[in-house]
Structures are given as C-alpha cells and as structure tokens.
Structure 1
Amino acid sequence: MGRRARAKADLDTELTELPPELRWREWMGRVEAVIFAAPAPVTRETLARVVGRDCSLDLIIDDIRAELRGRPYELVTVAGGWQHRTRKNFGDAIRAAIGGASDGKALSQSETLILACIAYYQPITRSELSAFFGKEVSRDTIARLRGLDFIARGPRSPQPGAPYTYVTTKGFLVQFGLETLRDLPNMEALEDAGLLSKDKMLAGELPDPLPADDEKHDDDEEAADWTETG
C-alpha cells in the first residue's frame, strides 16, 4: 500500500515546468494511455490521478476523440467511464480475419429476449418473465445470464414467498456499449408500438411464446450479434 502511495506521489501531475501546449499534450497522452491499458471502462476519478488539478478531462477527451477521427477505433463513454472500442463498420473485416467473438458471450434468441425484458422491466422475478413469454424461463437460463455478469439478484419481490427479482449489471452496460440504462431504446415508444408492456404482461395478455432454447432459427445469428460491442 505504501509503495503504491509513493508511486502516485512521485508522479508530477501539474507539470508546471512545461509550456502550456506541451503540458496539455502530456496530459492527453497520459489519459489515452491509461484508457488504452485498462481492461474495463476508466472512470473520471481514475483519470484525475494523472492530470493537473485545473485540467478539464472533458476537453482532454474531446481532443483525443478529434485525433481519432478517421481511425478504425474510437473513444466511447460506457458504464460511467471511457473505453477504446473498434468502430462498428469494421466488424465484418475483423470477423473475416479472426472470426467471431470468442468470449462465450454470444446469446441465443431466447436469452436475448429474456435479457431485454429484464433490462426494461427490472426489477422483475423469474415467474413474471415466464408469464410474459408464455413458457417457463429456466433457472439454467437465469444462471447463464448471471454467469456472464449481465444480470444480478435484485431486491426481493413483495409477492407471496418473496422471490428474488433480477436486475442488469455494470457488465451489461459495458457489453452493450451503454453509458446508463437511459441509453436503452425509448421505453414509451416501444410501449406505444405495443411491443412491450408490463401491465399487459401481468394482466395475462401474452406475446407469442418464447422459442425453445434447442430450436434453430433463421435469426439466431442476428440475436447473437446483440452481444457485439463493435
């Protein structure tokens, strides 16, 4: 702990001996290096450790983004932080060269629909999910989504038996490139279109039954692509 504290103290963040333009370039380089090296989105608090007290991180980020225009990767805001990501229009080239995602996070059509329902109606119980889709949502499916760190247990429901509810996680935001849940497609628009409605679900007005997990569908590949982050 002492060694880490000394290392931080030894880093000159103010750079007062440098002229303003060189100081700004050094701050930009530090911020981009930290984001590039980090395995997860980097928060404002983390980046503040490598720049001066009067440095505007928002302006630094804007300048980095400007320099990345025309590059095959970009700096995005996701899950409360910043992260480098490949631009989506290069997805086909990447898949042609090295294949699809190998992180085991590709979802089946059923898993995709269930995860979307949780994202919009959280906190929601497994029995409510089952009622919505007209068939039982298995514990195995819930366990897989939890294992992928897409969902977690939420508060207990006031229903008889006080079952657990489920909510999405920060890992969900990271995987789908969302800064917050407010970045999901507009819920009111979906409800106005009759595509999603928890009130209808609880009233027993069910959508088409959920496809069985072992069935093959022409749009399975499209459903799996929902997990790609570009």
Structure 2
Amino acid sequence: MIRVLIVDDEALVRSGLRMILEAAGDVVVVGEARDGEEAIGAAARLRPEVVLMDVRMPGMDGLTATGRLLRAAGPPKVVMVTTFDLDEYVHEALRLGAVGFLLKDTPPRELIAAVRTVAEGNAMLSPSVLKRLLGSFAHKAPSRAEVARHRLAALTAREEDVVRALARGLSNAEIGRELKLSEPTVKAHVSRLLAKLGLANRVQAAILVHDADLG
C-alpha cells in the first residue's frame, strides 16, 4: 500500500482527495494536515511515502513546508497541488526537490496514476502542463540562461540528447525508442547526468534545460 499524507487548508479538498485515493485499492491516506506546520509534524509521525502539498495555506505555506520536509532524513516524495495562478511558487518548489505538481481539477484517474508514479521513484512530467508552467518564465534574466547552459556543457553529446528528451516529458522507454537505445542504457544515462548536474530528479533537469532555452 502507498502511504499518502494530504495537506490542504480546505476540509472539502482533503475529503475529496482521500475519497479518490482510497478507492484505488493500493493507496492508503495515513493522515491529513491543514497547514505546513501540521504537515511537518504529521510526516515525522506517520512516515508517508507521498505528500500531496497545497501551495497556499494560512500559517506555514506549502513552499516553506516542502523545503523543511525535503531537508529531513528519509524525506517523502512531495507533490505540489496548485492552480496556474501560482506557477511561480510551484517552480520554486520543484527547485527545492518536489517531484511534480497536480492541478486541483486533475481527473481522479490521473491523480491516482500520479501518486503511483512518484511512489515508484519517478518524477511527474506531464508534457502539456510542464510546458505551460515553464512557459511562464520565458522572460528570464540572461545570466540565468547562461548559468544553465554552462552547467549543461558538462554533459556528453549523448547525455544532452537524453536530457533534452527528458525535458519534453518522455519516459525512459520513449527516449530509448527515439534515440535507439535500450531502456537500461537510458536509465544509466539519466542517473549519470543527474549526478553530473547535482540534481535530485528529472523535474529539476527539465527545468534546467528550459532555463537554458534548449527545451
């Protein structure tokens, strides 16, 4: 069973998410929290594998709580739950190490699939939503793009091919088909390039590629 903690200041939202997730059969909601402070305590006590974290809440917000959760030993996978008017906050959360984000109107089937995906250790990279999120940062400072390009220059040509495909939201299997590589080879390339770049997950790699205007 996948252990999930739901963090949202609205009781109706928490109840709705709980109902959807527990109908999946392989997910159990181990607890709920109304703000970031409660979330930190609940996560330490209940040890969830996945935390669904609202971005904007009274008291400690989701961004601050995410930073604190991910600095702890053995942290859970954090997925931000948001609306598009909060893109900037989500962008920062992904940089902190959150593994993805959901919109509050995500269909139930996609919500369940997302929880399963991150529980398996994969980042959520929905191409259409990620493109819209990162598109809100089209007017980046030149220095940020230059820094991103400098970091990516450490990659080999093949690793650059892989990271560009990764930034488009392709899975390892899809990258393998496109680049004519076996899936284990793609997985090895992803692991090496993340280590080279000092990144925690695929979402952070995708952001770096978009920062460099290479996506």
Q: Aligning the two structures, in what range does the TM-score lie when normalised by the shorter sequence?
A: under 0.3
| TM-score, normalised relative to structure 2 | 0.23
- Give me the TM-score of the superposition, normalised by structure 1: 0.22
Give 1 or 2: higher helix fraction.
Answer: 2
